[in-house]
Chains A and B, each alone.
Chain A
Amino acid sequence: MSELLKITGLGKSFGRHPVFEDLNLRLSEGKVYGLLGLNGEGKTTLIRILMGVIPACKGQIHYKDSEVFFRSAAYKEDVGYIPEDPFFFGWMKVGDLIEFNAGFYPRWDAHRAADLLKRLSLDKKTRVKTLSRGMKLRLSMAVALAARPTLLLLDDPTSGLDVPTRHDFLQGIIRELADSGTTVLFSTHLVHELERIVDHLFILHRGRIILDEGYEAVKNSTRRVRLAFPGDAPQTLGVEGLLTESRDGQRMEAVVYPWSEEKEKKIEGLSPLRLDVEPLTLEDIFRSFVAG
């Protein structure tokens, strides 16, 4: 699979407050990427930089092997963007907004726009300022998808959607897009929702990418171990890759990444009375990664 987007050494700060430094990411075609991070870690900032809304302080972005700059515009014909809080011109009607956007995108698919409006229950004659947040998100989706993007950037878009729409969006639209070759970078705080659709995970924490791995690989190589000892539990399990570790008298619990048989044997060497090794949900994995 060829590389679609490459971010190298990206840095951004607001005044004297650095948001992230030396960020490196690579996105390949046709995959769904999850971008996870706590609030304020810079997920929205990163996506806004990728959309050319704000400039980066340093680093490079390459799209399809061509470097893109803050001033660049042409690459955005390929990129759809659904922000967390959709911002439109309130005085426009839904139909006006669709028409307005059609002028910017050469691959604009009017039929698809009409289909999406219908599917998302949007009336062309409704004025944008009267739409609820959820409806604005739907409109945002319609605008982004009607442009037939090669890359879709989603900035925590599902939080305002009702459950059926969210389900339709995630399982229907996003999966459908990915299957048709569209690359999706999905930033969300509703981590569990990614579980069903994500191919690859990024975790942005304290200004750095601390996880850049395929979802299945992460899921298969992250384990929670629960131990019980006859006496006091040891100070540490003493294995590499401990994401979390806690002791409570004779009991001990830890999350290990990456998990391996060697590590399991080493832990067994501590002679616990009981040793339970279990996989984690994505939410637990995320929590473990950012816990430290």
Chain B
Amino acid sequence: MFKRMLIKEWKEKSGLFVFALVALAVFVLALSAYSKDKETVDILASTAFLVFLPVFSILLGASGFFTEFQEDAWAYLFSRPVKKGNVWIAKYLSLLTLLYAVVLPFAFLARLHPALESGALSFSFRIVGDLSFGVLAYILPLLLFTTAFSFSILSEKVYIVAFLAASTLIVLQIAVSWAGILLFYRTWSYSVFSLVYLLSLLIPLSFALASLTTVSRADFSQPRLRSWTFTKRSAIFILASIVLMALIGFVGGKLLRERYIYSLRARIDALYFVTEKGFFKFDPAEGRTRKIAKSPSSWGEISMGGDKLAYVQYHLRVSGRDFAGLRIMNSDGTQEKPLVGTANPESPFYGVYFDSVCVSQGGGRVAFIARNRRKATPQGIWMIKSDGTGPRGYDLGIPDVYYDYILGFGDSDRALLLLCVARANAVDAQGRQVARLLRLDLESGKAETLAEVRRTWFAFVPGERGMSEAERLAFIQYNEATAREHLAVYDSETREITQVYAEESVRGFRWNKARDKLAFLTAGSRLGVYSPAEKQVVKMAELKGYDLRWPSQALEWTADDRLILRRLEGKTSSMCILDANLAEQKSIKLPFDTFYASRFWSTGQYAVVEDTEKHELWGADLTTDKWVRIY
């Protein structure tokens, strides 16, 4: 029976098949003719894969029962000694073979044709993980065809069926996507997110089951009854799919929940960090970690100054808009309160998102950048007092500027240091961009340019961004004359910029806790220590055998001004302590194996490292060289 049905369906749809082959031939010819014109190749490929194949899939599916509606041929077919469900399945499978007889040549062509070599396509789809364009080319026609075929039992009017199927599928897929996003925000698990997306395949499957059971059990001779039965069953199956998705989402969320340490701030007296479970403080004096606030942040930024901690909290609403709130609390988790939010349409912050949050050194003020989501809302530098009063926006009067980020407060919290770039300012081949280092006087609102810095995007990161101790600011800038990356220091008290080291390119740097020593790493694997007081490099040493990947992360100071470096031997990483003369004093093996360039922090007598695979925090007591798990 299946063989007969296969032959019948292929014969019936032979016109469509020939049309598709002609389209394929035209596509090949056009690709060959324009193979060197990347833009045209993109347009051709987009048309083939995003327009032609989906439309073909829908039309093929929508015409599934077309011939059966002609002269009541469905009654003829259903009176044969074969189960009606089998008729549906046989038709579906027959047309599916026809669909993939068209899709596969297109998909192979995308892989084999020189004009469409891997990476040549500028449009690419990254749905989740490795589910990329190639997979989409195979799956999308299947989803569209299955849905349209399921709907084809409703009417012989192919175009109406095609429109109905496509629009219903799109609406439901959007709904499922939102469900996926909601679950993702709930679980913060990309695995769950991926799972939900994969489960969205259940929607076409639901329609298919509804269609199959309608054909098997409902009275096909009554169009209204048939439509009603199909609608009811679709609703039931989709509802069941949603319940299944929710169950898997919640259960999977529990099982697959990925733990992250979203933000971490190390002070001399304590270490603060945020995970999905809350806000934690590690006290080195006690050697204990305590949770001091419940989930204060959802992915938002954290900044600390004085006794205050400001952070951004996101709220995802079912209505589809997500809102953010800038909040503040004491560093022990008390007196938590909102400062500004983005949900109020009357507020100047409506529709913006908060970036580069920075608490002043004394903790009395909070600066942030309000970035525009909509063009109507301008970006701006804002300041608000910690008690929530006196919000003030600053217009720096620089046309076409993009505020990159706030580096910190200077001049005893009277000024703000920030970095901005011109929107039209392109990044060069080495990833460098000209940025302006600005000083904003918070009283007068006037901005002055301290330096034009050609720098790589990571020149100030990490360690400098959002820190309140910005009285002295270090930065790397590219010198075209020497073709080197120079290290410079800006002193906000004297307003002087001092060149620190120009002998070779500097790759990374780190201030000590008192901010009176600046360690730096050079391109030639040399470690130097600069003293702002003496305005000279006071120590210099050759480094051998250290892991200097991500140079700014490769360095850290201990509370007693020793330096920490990283060593990697095989899968074993060690934390190496260098004395004041930059000689290795001791080496402590990390309590976990990793290839990653683990970053170190220090607080009290502890040197802290994150296991980025298990998302654990470990602290080594440098007096006993013993590890404790902080989180």
Q: Which A residues lie at the B interface, using CB under 8 A?
A: 14-15, 48, 51-55, 70-77, 79, 81, 83, 85-92, 96, 99-101, 103-105
Contact = CB atoms under 8 A, between A and B. Distances in A.
A87 B72 contact: yes
Interface stretch (B73-81, B107-115, B270-278, B563-571): B73-81
A179 B404 CA distance: 97
B586 interface: no
A71 B85 contact: yes
Contacts of A88: 71, 73, 76
Contacts of A54: 219-221
B12 interface: yes
Interface residues of B, number: 31
Q: Which 6 A-B pairs have the closest CB atoms?
A: A76-B81, A103-B4, A77-B81, A51-B79, A87-B72, A104-B80
A89 B221 contact: no
B219 A90 contact: no
12 contacts: A48-B75, A48-B79, A51-B79, A54-B219, A55-B217, A73-B86, A88-B71, A89-B67, A89-B70, A91-B12, A91-B67, A104-B80
A100 B4 contact: yes
A70 B217 contact: yes
Nearest to B81: A76
Secondary structure of the A contact surface, majority rule = loop
Contacts of A15: 222, 225
Contact of A83 (B8, B75, B219, B222): B75
A71 B84 contact: yes
Contacts of B218: 55
Contacts of A92: 8
Contacts of A79: 81
Interface in B1-40: 1, 3-4, 7-8, 11-12
B483 interface: no
B216 interface: yes
A89 B217 contact: no
A71 B67 CA distance: 22
A50 to B, nearest CB: 10
B79 A53 contact: yes
A15 B222 CA distance: 9
Nearest to A102: B4
B294 interface: no
Contacts of A72: 83
Nearest to A144: B79
B81 A73 contact: yes
B75 A71 contact: no
B82 interface: yes
A123 B79 CA distance: 24
Interface string B121-141: 000000000000000000000
B67 A52 contact: no
Contacts of A99: 4
Given A54-B219, A55-B217, A103-B3, A87 B83 contact: no
A90 B81 contact: no
A21 to B, nearest CB: 17
Contacts of A48: 75, 79, 221
Contacts of A55: 217-219
A76 B85 contact: no
A88 B76 CA distance: 7
Nearest to B68: A89
B70 A90 contact: yes
Question: Quick one: which of A15, A70, A86, A105 has the most chain B CB within 10 A?
Answer: A70
A103 B4 CA distance: 6
Given A52-B78, A55-B217, A103-B4, 17 more contacts: A48-B221, A51-B79, A52-B79, A53-B75, A54-B219, A54-B220, A54-B221, A72-B83, A73-B83, A85-B72, A88-B73, A89-B70, A96-B11, A100-B7, A101-B80, A104-B1, A104-B4
A100 B75 contact: no
A283 to B, nearest CB: 30
A104 to B, nearest CB: 4
A104 B82 contact: yes
Nearest to A70: B217
Q: Give the most central of B1, B8, B81, B85: most A CB within 10 Å.
A: B81
Contacts of A86: 76
A125 B255 CA distance: 65
A243 B583 CA distance: 124
A31 B12 CA distance: 40
B79 A81 contact: yes
B72 to A, nearest CB: 4
A88 B217 CA distance: 23
Residue of B7, B8, B217 contacting most chain A CB atoms (<10 Å): B8
B225 to A, nearest CB: 8
